[in-house]
Structure 1
């Protein structure tokens, strides 16, 4: 069931001449997504899933169903000289109705103030339409005082989001340009760290050099803000993949979520860590949240497939992995996991085809050797695996042959050579091998689970630090019973004596200002004590006022829509919809039944 308080921000359309400001559109879209995601009661689709629909002309109802949201935000941006023109509109997915739209014309130098203004305006309108949301007074913090640095950062981010080595290297250049202008732009530091770690993990750059540069950028970001969510996500990855330090990785991942509870990547990585630790309940919780806000991200689908594999739901895992490989035949994690699935299912012929017929640039040599050896062992082909086994043992004798270590561990397990398997596992601690981490609890290592040493290693490998303690946030909107009663009395008196509902432009924020309340408190009061959102509450007064005007003989010459406008409505469609909901009749039916139409 779609959550009513949910929204996806679709990529803003660039209406500027040429394509050079495309990155600016993407940047503003991302900032609005990040801003709205700060509202705890609102479910906001992550960037990757929202941007899946960029350039695709699909019905809004279909997009809403795919993303599982009740509302969509569309927008456009035009840059002309030093001016920005931004338009945005909110759409209800269920009936394709546009319930708010607005435009802004501002100076480019005011970009951060514009983003905050737009985000707050959107949040206010959603609250009036959907019900209580607790909204901060400011949703967008200026990351830099220098617009040119921000422009270079956005260009770098736009390139890096293409996820290939050529664009990642170009992105590095733009991040460096941004930092030349503003050395304290933390997003550019984390952008550099992300780009270098991507090149290191994917094998597109010398591993040690690329990781060294990534770590240097992380340290600079840490000096600026150690709580930063993307930074802690990167630190979690670095602790796992270069230090094989599970506890430290878990601590950084938890900090990422503590700093930004809606951070999809952080939830994905925490799910992954809990899978390795065999805590499938917690893994499932984090994975479900990541899927709810980032359902179309291929990485989310891979984590779901890996979760199914680790849960030994091999048939279901296979379906998802085949979908991933159909979309991207070079998805190496999906390919390797699919081979694992086929080995567990004893579909040896299919596994063999994938192992030996994969492109040269796909599976790395030690991994292909290890998979081939494991396949022959599981098939019981002693004569064929012995030569492969000897070669694998020779390769695993090196200190940094991490993939050979991992597969030798699995092969020993398949051969029920537990003592030898655990002797290989010691290299995890000696040489900081994250690949051995992955192999330890893998379903392919199932024979080792029955050994008395297995739980001892499990405890040693997956020891956790003290959990991150998040301070309990008090709901600042909630009023005591006595205060709520007093405010309700003031509100009712104000509505009766001042009739603020007659102003068509009345907003929850402006009414709160008139009552000298915080908007969050008024929102809470209406929803908790009146059982209505702002629009329903105000429109109830407008309908009552319309009926009063209709009964006055002095208004007999005024049309029904004219009376509606005098009652505070500014749309015929909204008036008709609200009136029927309040009275069960259309305005014409009500007029006729009242006897006033004679």
Structure 2
């Protein structure tokens, strides 16, 4: 990172954009920002990182910024043998940042394809969000601050986003940043609710005009539909639209897992949970949603184990605390539940939620606090008393007072009391499901999605050939290799060879991996090994070292040469030489 740290936001932004660009390649599983950044400034081993992230290749590097100049370094490490099989450094101008990000993303993708297997890579991976580099810097600074999710930093982030829009009002991500920030302040109670929601709505409206299909925009709309409009179907559709634009969007996968879990569609919920665990396993939100899934499906020990880990890292994690209390209530550990609730700082939990949980504990014990019930009933008259609505519903349900429970549930439809959407299907109200009215309400709270038209089958890749075509094209490749021996060039790449034989790089990649059964480096190095063998057997080369002959054969790394030779020939180069004496 930058030597003095003051440009860390810019350097982190470059890293994040490259992660995002690589994630757009369908055949790659790329770990998302939060889990990748988990190891920043840590001295973890390659094996530890790989184990926790579930990856086979690790990319590491640095970004240094000095005035108008950038120096970016990157290297790739194969986890299996911890070999650093690719590295490169770029010196570029900061005002060409988008071109630089695209260039580096493509080169990294190419190197992965050449070493790991077939990938279909577009001509470019990074779009220019703006022509104004100053606006982009302001945006990156704002995004870093926004991701800290505390009122001080979020307010600073909003200032940066406003500055962005004064420079380039068309930068949609800044509008989405404003919507995110104001929504957070409104929900958390750190700004006047109506004013903050109005500003969020204004930013969303502008973003919709710029790009209605934007993944981040649709994710915000999904949250707004659920938490503000209490429209379960709209929330689900917006989340699906987010994934339609960006299939690897971790936030949308988490939210869909949550939505499907509420409705009891646990198979779909688990599918999205598994995917997000594969690309963002160390994100605290991923881990909380996993715990919540296990709570909903009745695996309380598994849920509590994850929640305990989260609370060990952050004792003020309110969602983890609340679900932990629910689990204790399930287990009838009422005194422990009361103690855990009492230990939550006043500034962390809304007074009405604390009252509601106390009421629920008493109700589940069979000793309801009538005064507390009456107090919550008085508060429930107000439309904004969502916690009162929710905990009265839960309390009446566990008491078996079904009429009162359903009476309170009507607040969901009368005043859009969105917290009731979570409580309606909570495992604590399992007994309420035996009431015939519950099924009817289920259809109202979580309406079934309209059946989608069957998607047209995906067209086969344009680069896939039938066996006869593949054989003919490989014949062309082999003929060129035999005649021109391009493998002797140590700088040979798949793109360069594809250009030489007039084949699209994606098609050549497919040919080698699917038809020949080798990745590009294996294919080329096989010819280099055969060339090396011929040189070793030639007496006129007896004065040249084995490493020298390897370099003359097109290898540019002694380590790569020795490893590949032994793997393919079954003996070391020295042993081969002796066997031919």
Same fold (TM over 0.5): yes
Is contact 1:412-1:418 (8 Å) kept?
Answer: yes
Q: 1:278 is matched with which residue?
A: 264
Q: 2:542 is matched with which residue?
A: 556
What is the aligned length? 579
Is 1:400–2:384 an aligned residue pair?
yes
Q: Distance in 2 between matches of 1:265 and 1:418?
A: 36
Is contact 2:161-2:178 (8 Å) kept?
Answer: yes
Is contact 2:186-2:193 (8 Å) kept?
Answer: yes
Any idea what SS the aligned residue of 1:75 has?
strand
1:498 paired residue among 476, 484, 496:
484
Q: 2:220 is matched with which residue?
A: 234
Is contact 2:379-2:388 (8 Å) kept?
Answer: yes
Q: 1:439 is matched with which residue?
A: 423
* CA gap 1:220/1:464 in 2 versus in 1, 3 angstroms: farther
Is 1:94–2:95 an aligned residue pair?
no
Is 1:193–2:179 an aligned residue pair?
yes
What per-residue deviation string (whole Å, max 9, x for no partner) do you get for residues 447-490 of structure 1? Answer: 11111111111112212444677763642332233321221111
Is 1:167–2:142 an aligned residue pair?
no
The correspondence of residues 58-457 of structure 1 with structure 2, limited to 5 A, is 58-382=44-368, 385-457=369-441
Runs of 4+ that moved beyond 4 A: 467-471
* CA gap 1:339/1:192 in 2 versus in 1, 3 angstroms: same
Q: 1:3 is matched with which residue?
A: none
* 1:246 to partner: Cα distance: 0.4
* 1:579 to partner: Cα distance: 0.7
Is 1:462–2:446 an aligned residue pair?
yes
Any idea what SS the aligned residue of 2:268 has?
helix
**Structure 1 unaligned residues grouped into runs of 5+:** 1-12
Is contact 1:85-1:103 (8 Å) kept?
Answer: yes
Q: Distance in 2 between matches of 1:482 and 1:207?
A: 67
Any idea what SS the aligned residue of 1:54 has?
coil
1:37 paired residue among 16, 20, 23:
23
Is 1:55–2:72 an aligned residue pair?
no
* 1:355 to partner: Cα distance: 2.3
User: Which stretch of structure 1 is more off in the superposition, 540-549 or 209-218?
Assistant: 209-218
Q: Distance in 2 between matches of 1:315 and 1:83?
A: 53
Q: Distance in 2 between matches of 1:176 and 1:464?
A: 40
User: Which stretch of structure 1 is more off in the superposition, 551-560 or 306-315?
Assistant: 551-560
Q: Distance in 2 between matches of 1:401 and 1:20?
A: 44
Is contact 1:244-1:428 (8 Å) kept?
Answer: yes
User: Which stretch of structure 1 is more off in the superposition, 109-118 or 418-427?
Assistant: 418-427
> Normalising to structure 1: TM-score of the pair?
0.95
2:14 paired residue among 11, 14, 28:
28
Is contact 1:221-1:231 (8 Å) kept?
Answer: yes
Q: 1:580 is matched with which residue?
A: 566
Q: Distance in 2 between matches of 1:340 and 1:361?
A: 21
* CA gap 1:475/1:202 in 2 versus in 1, 3 angstroms: farther
**Structure 2 unaligned residues grouped into runs of 5+:** none
Any idea what SS the aligned residue of 1:504 has?
coil
> What is the RMSD of the two structures over their aligned residues, measured on CA atoms?
1.4
Q: 1:14 is matched with which residue?
A: 2
Q: Distance in 1 between matches of 2:452 and 2:309?
A: 37
What per-residue deviation string (whole Å, max 9, x for no partner) do you get for residues 308-343 of structure 1? Answer: 110111121111112211211211111111111110
Any idea what SS the aligned residue of 2:169 has?
coil
User: Which stretch of structure 1 is more off in the superposition, 31-40 or 316-325?
Assistant: 316-325
Q: Distance in 1 between matches of 2:56 and 2:566?
A: 23
Is contact 1:250-1:464 (8 Å) kept?
Answer: no
Q: 1:9 is matched with which residue?
A: none
Q: Distance in 1 between matches of 2:448 and 2:527?
A: 57
Is 1:591–2:577 an aligned residue pair?
yes
> Normalising to structure 2: TM-score of the pair?
0.97
Any idea what SS the aligned residue of 2:71 has?
strand
Is contact 2:146-2:154 (8 Å) kept?
Answer: yes
* 1:149 to partner: Cα distance: 0.5
Q: 1:6 is matched with which residue?
A: none
